[in-house]
Amino acid sequence: MTVKPPADRDLAPRYVPWSEEAALAVMRALPALRGPLLPVLHALQESFGYVDPKAVALVAHELNLSRADVHGVLTFYSDLRTSPPGEVRVQVCRGEACQSVGGHALAEHAVSSLSVGFGETAADGSVTLEEVFCLGNCAVGPTVRVNGRLHGRVHAAGLDRLIRDSTPSGEPA
């Protein structure tokens, strides 16, 4: 399955291009926090879609931390990305409750139909596939999140439809 990038769909997050100036503006707009590293990294990801590796030195300088500290946190949390996500971001829950109601088959379907592995983005940037471990929607699994929107009781055909609906024309992907 090839996913075409969405045009003006509200499901598709819009990010600003990475720049040092924009990153500084994002960081400096945050209130003073105790332990600000994670909120800063999340704020950068919300703005740019990912945390550019070039931000490590910038964040370290701004927060008076070592580059190793920032790099360690950035690479520890799987929620934080260091490269731009695809236009359509598909997250499949691999938690036990979802696995018990068909989540494994759904995960296999996602990999084979999108031709991309978990944690990978298609070469054309159309889709990113991620595994997550519980989205807090256990009672109505299997659960997926597509471009930030949660969906329950999703099986193969439903996942295909959700992805198709995130394309600009809604045409089969």
143: contact with ligand FES by CB under 6 A = yes
What are the tokens at 99? Answer: 């696995």
What kind and span of H or E run contains 109? helix 104-114
138: contact with ligand FES by CB under 6 A = yes
Query: In this structure, what is the dihedral angle of CA atoms 103, 140, 89, 49, given to the nearest 10 degrees?
Result: -120
> Which one among 141, 144, 147, 166 touches ligand FES, defined by CB under 6 A?
141
Of 17, 14, 87, 18, nearest to 56 (Cα)?
18
Q: How far is the CB of 107 from ligand FES (least distance, A)?
A: 11
- 136: alpha, beta or left, given left = phi > 0 and alpha = psi -120 to 50? left
> Which one among 11, 24, 60, 97 touches ligand FES, defined by CB under 6 A?
97
Decide whether 128 or 137 has the Cβ nearer to ligand FES. Answer: 137
Decide whether 35 or 136 has the Cβ nearer to ligand FES. Answer: 136
Q: How far is the CB of 104 from ligand FES (least distance, A)?
A: 12
Burial class of residue 117 (count of CB atoms within 10 Å of its CB; 0-12, 13-18, 19+): exposed
Q: How far is the CB of 91 from ligand FES (least distance, A)?
A: 10
The footprint of ligand FES on this chain (CB under 6 A) covers a number of residues equal to 12
Binding range to ligand FES, per CB under 6 A, among 53-61, 62-70, 137-145, 165-173: 137-145
